[in-house]
Structure 1
């Protein structure tokens, strides 16, 4: 069950910025852990989260990574007070933006499936973190938006590029220009989140999703993510060729692909091994 912690680790020099939890076999959860400040994505938090994402890529036992915020809020965005100091040092600010870029690039190119769990506010940098996830489940009480321009800021962690690719340029422009917050059900309608559920059903929904994904071929999930993410980096024809080449190799070499067909023929559940 999500939240049933068997192991917790604290990472970063500032301690407990990120909670690391092993939820079950193949599943870990990373939680932003500054609920008193609505889980800001300051520089230390970004570096700590990036450290986890990079190290998890080398952990063959992990298939799914859940990302959420502690205290009933995903993330209200960046640390605006901290930005005042960063703005005075362009080199530091450039390094901060690069760490944000590297974090989300690592998430998108990772072989793991990242599931965002959205409760409370998900704004500005929080929205940019949402956009780097592969699947997003939001509680009905969630409020999601950009908000940078409300304080004279601009998105610097990919929001201006990822958001229009997810919901379309006109919707993205409206949300970013107005700073409007949308509820989870509206976010689902426009394709900003995968699914919106009543708050009291959030844990049950995540548990069900995790169980379902863990029954899939790990190699198949990895391949699906690769095709979806890499395909969108180029034009349609390049993506179609990418799919043909990848699937040809997968279908003719992967044990999981053959096992799926045999299981169908034998009318049983496949026994995938991730090879």
Structure 2
């Protein structure tokens, strides 16, 4: 399979599984990712997702080999159909109601960067190299980088990656805000498991609402974001998890959240 799914406690791990192709994204991988998301979103016991790559790459972008096998007259339409599907997949990962952690383990370029941009938390191995890369071949981002990267790291830093096509060490992207933490290569899986476990211990409903607020804060005015925060708080006030959290605080114990 082009992507594997396995459970590690309350976390679901998605491993891109085309190591010979540096986990490049093709149509079959997109279909598999949608199927995995269907499964994990419907499973209340999954409280966090971790996305990583098999082998020496996280993801080296799109694999358009299938396009070159087509007659010339069909290639443009096929490419656009693929980009629309890829963009929809990235947006679905971004909108996943459960926190998504990227464990970036190697080369991460083009579509790989676009996948990272859709994750909520980014851990990276010391040897990871991250960039856009489209400019090297006269191409454009097609699955969200032009919209998400400037929002994440600012226009000037984004333009550096867009225009040069450079792959930067993960450590250089911590201060920029793209990567949360860099760890030694051998420690990446354990570090991701630790973060996933910490996230999974929180209220699933609370994290879902917090994620919605965080994502929505990028749109509209500050005043609109503040009003949205109050409105979400008002709806959340009657939830079991909110009241369980308050009771646990008062009773000096760990809360037992249920996601409702």
Q: Does TM, normalized by the shorter one, top 0.5?
A: yes
Describe the shift of the 1:104–1:234 C-alpha distance in structure 2 as closer, same or farther (beyond 3 A). Answer: farther
- Given the alignment, which residue of 52, 55, 60 partners 2:36? 52
| Pairing partner for 2:241 from 242, 256, 269 | 256
Q: Which one of the candidate residues 205, 213, 216 is aligned to 1:230? A: 216
Q: Provide the C-alpha distance between the structure 2 equivalents of 1:227 and 1:154, rounded to a whole number of angstroms.
A: 30
Number of matched pairs: 258
Please report the TM-score for the alignment, with normalisation by the length of structure 2: 0.94
Q: Deviations over 1:212-248 (max 9, x none)?
A: 1121111111111111112223332222211110012
Partner Cα separation in structure 2 for residue 238 and residue 98 of structure 1: 30
- Give the equivalent residue in structure 2 for 1:32: 16
Looking at both structures, which has the greater relative contact order when contacts are Cα pairs under 8 Å and sequence separation is at least 6? Answer: 2
Matched, 1:198 2:184: yes
Alignment of 1:1-275 (within 5 A): 16-24=1-9, 26-85=10-69, 88-250=74-236, 252-275=237-260
Pairwise CA RMSD of aligned residues? 1.6
Which consecutive unaligned segments of at least 5 residues does structure 2 have?
none
Structure 1 length-normalised TM = 0.89
Of the structure 1 ranges 51-60 and 146-155, higher mean CA displacement relative to structure 2 is found in 51-60
Task: Give me the whole-angstrom Cα distance separating, in 2, the residues matched to 1:159 and 1:83.
Answer: 22
C-alpha distance in 1 between matches for 2:60 and 2:67: 15
- Residues 32 and 68 in structure 1, CA contact (< 8 A), matched pair in contact too: yes
Q: Are the aligned partners of 2:126 and 2:171 in contact in 1 as well (CA < 8 Å)?
A: yes
Residue 36 of structure 1, CA deviation: 0.9
The answer as to whether partners of 2:50 and 2:196 remain within 8 angstroms in 1 is: no
Asked if structure 2 preserves the Cα contact closer than 8 Å seen for 1:53 and 1:103, the reply is no
- Do 1:50 and 1:102's aligned partners in 2 also have CA atoms closer than 8 Å? no
User: 1:29-67 CA deviation, whole Å, 9 max, x = no partner?
Assistant: 111111011110122212221232234222222211111
187-196 or 76-85: bigger deviation = 76-85
**How many angstroms does 1:134 deviate by?**
0.9
